[in-house]
Amino acid sequence: MIEIIPAIDIIDGNCVRLEKGEFSSKKVYYTDPVEVAKLFEANGLKRLHLVDLDGARTGKIVNIKSLEAVASATGLSIDVGGGIRTEQDVELVLSAGASMVNLGSMAVKNPDVAFKLLERFGPDQIILGADVKNEFIAVSGWTEGSTLSLWNFLDKWLGAGVQKVCCTDISRDGMLTGPAFDLYTSMKKQYKQINVIASGGISNLDDVIRLNDLNIDGVIIGKAIYEGRIALEELAKRFL
């Protein structure tokens, strides 16, 4: 069964959503991330994807207090991304209550440190963040593109022992146009050993059902929940 992972993206301590990663498209849904996290937990969800968007943009962790508050107020298993650039950053978010860390920009820009972290913390705590536009990796809160293809990126990191990959199709993120089904199917076909987490574009319950039918391991859902297109009760009924 696919793992349901609701998302909380944070700017200035607020729970927001963007479109295609564009900060100018910011929409605030809640001013207290703890309120949202408690709502997820009350509906039976066990996981949370928390992104420090200020951190992703500036290259340093900004919203650590929001993480601490959510972790202390809930029993959710939280994976965190955004602004994580050093070994000390990983230690900080784990000590603040995260269970897992998403390494995206670091895995591209500073792979030696990322390799060391994977070796130290293991594949249960390290998730590879593969954010793509036209199947090329983007970094730094998606403000920078690269010439690194998704497939070369995966080859490198799966060879190093990564087991979990969160892949976001940037062109779909926040757009409610449906996820990149073909992309995730290709990933599962080519890399049978990895845990693929789909992110970006989820628009309704049928999208989640189809991903489940395709044997995708996890799905991150954000805007579809906040806009009322997917009811938490329905997610719980079908997938928990």
Average pLDDT over residues 179-205: 96
Q: What's the chain's average pLDDT?
A: 94
DSSP state of 2: P
**Locate tokens 């976001």: which residue?**
168
Q: Tell me, what's the pLDDT at 143? A: 67
Residue 141 has pLDDT above 70, yes or no: no
> Kind and range of the H or E element at 48?
strand 47-52
Residue of 52, 131, 169, 207 marked catalytic: 131
pLDDT digits 0-9 by tens, 47-61: 999 999 999 999 999
Report how far apart, in Å, the C-alpha atoms of 177 and of each of 25, 61, 106, 174 are. 16, 30, 29, 8
Sign of the C-alpha dihedral computed for residues 223, 226, 232 and 233 taken in this order: negative
Quote the CA–CA distance of 120 and 235 in Å, as a whole number: 35
Q: Tell me, what's the pLDDT at 147? A: 87
Residue 144 has pLDDT above 80, yes or no: no
DSSP state of 121: H
Q: Tell me, what's the pLDDT at 130? A: 95
β-strand pairing of 47-52 with 22-30: unpaired
Q: Tell me, what's the pLDDT at 112? A: 94
Q: What percent of the chain has pLDDT over 90?
A: 86
Quote the CA–CA distance of 12 and 33 in Å, as a whole number: 11
Show me where the domains of the chain are located: 3-239
pLDDT digits 0-9 by tens, 94-104: 999 999 999 99
Residue 165 has pLDDT above 70, yes or no: yes
Residue 202 has pLDDT above 80, yes or no: yes
Sign of the C-alpha dihedral computed for residues 84, 88, 94 and 99 taken in this order: positive
Average pLDDT over residues 205-234: 97
Q: Tell me, what's the pLDDT at 8? A: 98
12: annotated active-site residue: no
131: annotated active-site residue: yes
Residue 6: other Cβ atoms inside 10 A: 26
Average pLDDT over residues 32-42: 98
Q: pLDDT band for position 173 (50/70/90)?
A: confident
Q: Tell me, what's the pLDDT at 142? A: 62
Q: Tell me, what's the pLDDT at 20? A: 85
Q: How is residue 190 written in tokens?
A: 């080519």
Our separate counts of H helices and E strands in the chain read 11, 11
CATH code of the region 3-239: 3.20.20.70
Quote the CA–CA distance of 208 and 145 in Å, as a whole number: 28
Residue, of 123 and 134, whose pLDDT is higher: 123
Quote the CA–CA distance of 5 and 75 in Å, as a whole number: 14
**Locate tokens 């696919």: which residue?**
2
pLDDT digits 0-9 by tens, 106-131: 999 999 999 999 999 999 999 999 99
Average pLDDT over residues 176-180: 95
Q: What pTM does this model have?
A: 0.95
Helix (H, G, I), strand (E, B) or coil at 93: helix
Q: Tell me, what's the pLDDT at 139? A: 81
Q: pLDDT band for position 149 (50/70/90)?
A: very high
